[in-house]
A and B are shown apart, each in its own frame.
Chain A
């Protein structure tokens, strides 16, 4: 079944190094739609990333910086990127060597098409 996000997610998952992309509810951390490679624990990443994103929002607001734009978690074995709009968070799971510049640009562009 297609959702309004299927096309966006299909385009994002095709980028080299991207192993999963999801649209997640910001407040509940539940996956709305996703495209995941085998081995990516979507529901766990979704819940934890949405939680981190909410915390980042609060930290950013507390610091007087306004809303969070783009959020990136860099780990030894890969990256998790998130960007949100209208109570939804677009989450990308990728390998360490992914081209973050392109991913960031694509994510911000994709957010504009969110309902």
Chain B
């Protein structure tokens, strides 16, 4: 399994989270759906799909939270037959990113939550402020998305 990143500052915290939390798949993305780093995916099309779905789910959940509770919900946890999904916002200076992690019985929700807290603290300290301020769907979105995927999957 290979960890690939589109921004160098992502590598260290994402690697620590993957190693410590023993997750099978992980993606850090902008709330717009643009990928910043991933672990466990072999094909760029899978990353693109996962990012789009994760961004949409996070946005839906945030809006549902605002509607019901007056503020966005935080982390989400879905349990499958053998695998589980953890999806949560990662607050950074001036906005937030989104982390999607998939784990199985080698890990647990408690472990993932624990190392997610450490991940958030590290990312908040090292993420450039501009990382959060990217427009959701501006004219460059597709080009930027393709550039990030190309950097991560070796076709830059």
Determine if chain A interacts with chain B.
yes
Q: Are A27 and B105 in contact (CB under 8 A)?
A: yes
A28 and B114 contacting across the interface, CB-CB below 8 Å:
no
Minimum C-beta distance from B35 to chain A (A): 28
Where the two chains meet, the residues of B that have a C-beta atom closer than 8 Å to any C-beta of A are 105, 107-111, 113-114
Q: Do A47 and B114 touch across chains, with their CB atoms under 8 A apart? A: yes
Q: How far is the CA of A29 from the CA of B106 in the complex (A)?
A: 12
Is the CB–CB distance between B109 and A51 below 8 Å?
Answer: no
| Chain B residues closer than 8 Å to A29, beta-carbon distance | 108-111, 114
Q: Name the prevailing secondary structure of the B interface residues.
A: helix
Q: Could you say which interface size class chain A belongs to? A: 10 to 19
**5 new A-B contacts at CB < 8 Å, known A29-B110, A44-B114:** A24-B110, A29-B108, A43-B113, A51-B107, A51-B108
**How many angstroms from the CA of A25 to the CA of B105 in the assembled complex?**
13
For B114, what are the chain A residues with a Cβ–Cβ distance below 8 Å? 29, 43-44, 47-48
